[in-house]
Amino acid sequence: NSWIIPAAHTDANEDDMCDVCGNGKKFVVDSVNYATVEEAFANASNNSTITLYEDAELTQTIALTDRKITLNMNGKTITFANDTIGDGIFVVTGTAELVIDGNGTLNSASLLNDYSMCLWAKDGGKIVVNSGTITNVGAKDAEDNGTFNNNELIYAGANGEIIINGGTFIGN
């Protein structure tokens, strides 16, 4: 019997392409590549850095409860246009901390809920925005019952904390 052992994925010439399979980097956690940004966050350990190498369309809110993670947007965009619940792109709680760097864009422009938030810190969670564009332009203008717009672009409640050191904020 013979066995074919797949070669390790490498990028010896540092062109952001795998020398073995030819695929590009997508969402990298401390040098490990993941197919989706959700997988990258699920597999990131405390004090990890996630670097984006392509844009992402979320299928669910990313919830952090107990880890400090740095997100290097690397000039890329994360969009969550199909947020049906209204928890936004990130909800950070407990002892978790999310640090956002890298001049990319977070866009929570959903027409499917009444609260198109991008960032939500609550119950002790902490978010630090150092750079990037945070937006929900294109979100629903009013609640389903016709009352006021609840599109809080960023929201800190119940002992949550959001620290803004930089960035551009464009609300609906």
Helix (H, G, I), strand (E, B) or coil at 39: helix
Residue 23 CB burial class (10 angstroms; 0-12, 13-18, ≥19): exposed
- The CA distance from 30 to 49, in Å, is 6
Question: Cα separation of 64 and 142, whole Å?
Answer: 28
Please state, as a whole number, how many other Cβ atoms lie within 10 Å of the Cβ of residue 54.
Answer: 12
Closest CA to 136 of 123, 155, 159: 155
pLDDT digits (tens, 9 = 90+) for 11-61: 667 776 666 666 678 889 988 888 899 999 999 999 999 999 999 998 888
**Can you give the pLDDT at residue 135?**
85
* Inter-CA distances, 169 with 34, 87, 102, 136, 162, Å: 29, 18, 15, 9, 13
Residues 100, 93: Cα–Cα separation, whole Å: 16
pTM: predicted TM-score of the whole model, two decimal places: 0.81
CB-count exposure of residue 26 (10 Å: 0-12, 13-18, 19+): middle
Residue 10 pLDDT exceeds 60? no
**34-38, 113-117, 121-125, 164-168: lowest mean pLDDT where?**
113-117
> What single letter denotes the amino acid at residue 60?
Q
Residue 39 phi/psi, 5° resolution?
-65, -40
